Chain A
């Protein structure tokens, strides 16, 4: 079966750095996606990791350790608009995504 664990809520200050951790257990693994979802909207793609290591994309970076079943999303220079839910989604063969409950990030001034 699939199991995804990430914190339910986090709070951070505008301009700061925040790291959102995710651990997962899946039957088969084909990479891990991070999505951002604002309230009432559909998810938007942020990043994809299939190999171990760090992928950097502007203010957002994502890290993967396949052996540990662990990933994190790092957000730098936080802005108020970054307040959203962040979804960790491992991909299994057949490109099926499994979503956990997501982490609701609140950025405060």
Chain B
């Protein structure tokens, strides 16, 4: 079964709306979660690393004030796309890694398809 749950799976909303996406690790604790974005037929691009109890680390070119990340517990990280515009339309995917043990794979959520009209 799924070890990482991501909601919602699809969002369609008007330009200027803020959208919140949740990522939960279901049966393990994740001190670190990752947020990716994927445009059609392109590779996964890491947006930011979400760290439990501290500030997220953003990749170059990703606006931290636009993509707000909160990692309030060991099983939940949220990504809020603030004042979304059509160019933010994309497939957003989170991943999490079990904090216990080394060399654990990142497990991905099912992704959120965001469409801004």
Chain A count of residues within 8 A CB distance of the other chain: 22
Min CB distance B4 to A, Å, is 9
Contact with B along A23-48 (1 / 0, CB 8 A): 00000001101010000111111001
The yes or no answer to B106 lying at the interface (CB within 8 A) is yes
Min CB distance A43 to B, Å, is 5
- Grouping DSSP codes into helix (H, G, I), strand (E, B) and loop, the B interface class, with mixed when no group exceeds half, is strand
Min CB distance A3 to B, Å, is 12
Contact segment of A60-68, A69-77, A95-103: A95-103
> Known contacts A87-B44, A96-B46, A96-B49: does B106 contact A44 (CB below 8 Å)?
no
Closest to A98 in B: B46
> Known contacts A43-B44, A100-B43: does B105 contact A33 (CB below 8 Å)?
yes
B106–A42 touching, CB < 8 Å: no
- With A and B bound together, what is the CA distance between A98 and B113 in angstroms? 21
A41–B110 touching, CB < 8 Å: yes
**Chain B contact residues (Cβ within 8 angstroms of A): what range?**
20 to 34
Number of A-B contacts defined by CB within 8 Å: 49
> Known contacts A41-B111, A95-B32: does B44 contact A48 (CB below 8 Å)?
no
> Known contacts A48-B103, A95-B97: does B109 contact A42 (CB below 8 Å)?
yes
A31–B103 touching, CB < 8 Å: yes
A101–B43 touching, CB < 8 Å: yes
Min CB distance B96 to A, Å, is 11
Q: Which residues of A are at the interface with B, using a C-beta cutoff of 8 A?
A: 30-31, 33, 35, 40-45, 48, 50, 87, 94-102
A30-B103, A95-B104 given; 12 more Cβ-contact pairs under 8 Å: A33-B105, A42-B93, A42-B111, A43-B93, A48-B105, A87-B44, A94-B49, A95-B32, A95-B97, A96-B49, A101-B42, A102-B43
Q: Which residues of B are at the interface with A, using a C-beta cutoff of 8 A?
A: 6, 32, 34, 42-46, 49, 91, 93, 95, 97, 103-111, 113
